[in-house]
Chains A and B, each alone.
Chain A
Amino acid sequence: MNIKNEMKLEFLSRSQNEAFARVAVAAFAAQLDPTLEEIADIKTAVSEAVTNAIIHGYDNPNEMVHVRTQISDYSVIIEVIDHGKGMEDVELARQPLYTSKPELERSGMGFTVMETFMDKVEVNSAPGQGTKVRMVKYISHEADETRRDG
């Protein structure tokens, strides 16, 4: 894959940063001229992964969350990384409606949202070491075509 551009964000594990992270990644991805729907998909998926790092990965607000975004000709590749608790069983965690925090009124739909809105979602996690979620979104360039045709 031919990487054309790349950026990295690092921020404390505080919930205020959820909005910052999704808006920053979406602004960077805008270079590929995505549709409004593709931008909304990216924002939502980033929000899910970053929220998970903050509330499940870490149990205090003073740890670092890392987000790396790369752009190739036709795709956005996003990695959200925490060095927190990690997961014992990733397959179970990815099941729709599974949540380890029902007391927080979590819906257990975060991974399902990421899988539905992105084209690829890979999760690497080890207990006590942390979690890396890697997501890929293909950008259709439909917007370009309509502009050219119209």
Chain B
Amino acid sequence: MLTDNKRKGDILIVGLSGELDHHHSAEVRDALDRLLDDPSIRHMILNLRHLHFMDSSGIGVFMGRYKTIHKRGGQFSIANINSQLARILEMSGLYRILKVHDTVEQAIDGIRGESE
């Protein structure tokens, strides 16, 4: 479910693939939390280009990780979402608290722009 992950300074960039439903949510949650154990990470960008499906289980996973990042004073951004995902995020109110960008590069610029 987690494809690649890389660091850019204090930003963690993670790719998700497949289908984020209840069956896969614990696995994704645990894998993200293991990465976020590193206290030098302040911001997180999820690249959802290869995430083909998500239901409300994914909202719970994103909310939980948002809390961790928010406590560190960081930004939680997502990039490359399809229209099904956009509608789920919109109805859940996540659109207002996560930063949504077209590309990972724009998400990085967004974080850099605000922390300067």
* A and B associate in one complex: yes
> Which residues of chain A have a CB within 8 Å of any CB of chain B?
15-16, 18-19, 37, 40, 43-44, 47-48, 51, 54-55, 104-110, 112-113, 116-117
Chain B residues in 8 Å Cβ range of A55: 22
A40 with B29: CB separation less than 8 A: no
Q: Is B59 an interface residue, CB under 8 A from the partner?
A: yes
B63 with A107: CB separation less than 8 A: yes
A43 with B56: CB separation less than 8 A: no
Which interface residue of A19, A43, A47 has the most chain B CB atoms within 10 A? A47
Chain A residues in 8 Å Cβ range of B91: 109, 112-113, 116
Closest 8 CB pairs of A and B: A15-B23, A107-B59, A105-B60, A109-B56, A107-B60, A40-B84, A47-B55, A51-B22
Q: Is B2 an interface residue, CB under 8 A from the partner?
A: no
Q: A105-B60, A112-B91 are in contact. Are A43 and B53 (CB under 8 A)?
A: yes
Contact of B22 among A15, A37, A40, A113 (CB under 8 A): A15
Chain A residues in 8 Å Cβ range of B60: 104-107
Chain B residues in 8 Å Cβ range of A105: 25, 29, 60-61, 63-64
> Interface majority SS on A: helix, strand, loop or mixed?
helix
Chain A residues in 8 Å Cβ range of B29: 105
Categorize the interface residue count of chain B: 20 to 34
Q: Is B92 an interface residue, CB under 8 A from the partner?
A: yes
A19 with B19: CB separation less than 8 A: yes
Q: Whole-angstrom distance from the CB of B16 to the nearest CB of chain A? A: 16
Which interface residue of B23, B57, B83, B88 has the most chain A CB atoms within 10 A? B57
Of residues 53 through 103 on chain B, the ones whose CB sits less than 8 Å from some CB of chain A are 53, 55-57, 59-61, 63-64, 83-84, 87-88, 91-92
A113 with B63: CB separation less than 8 A: no
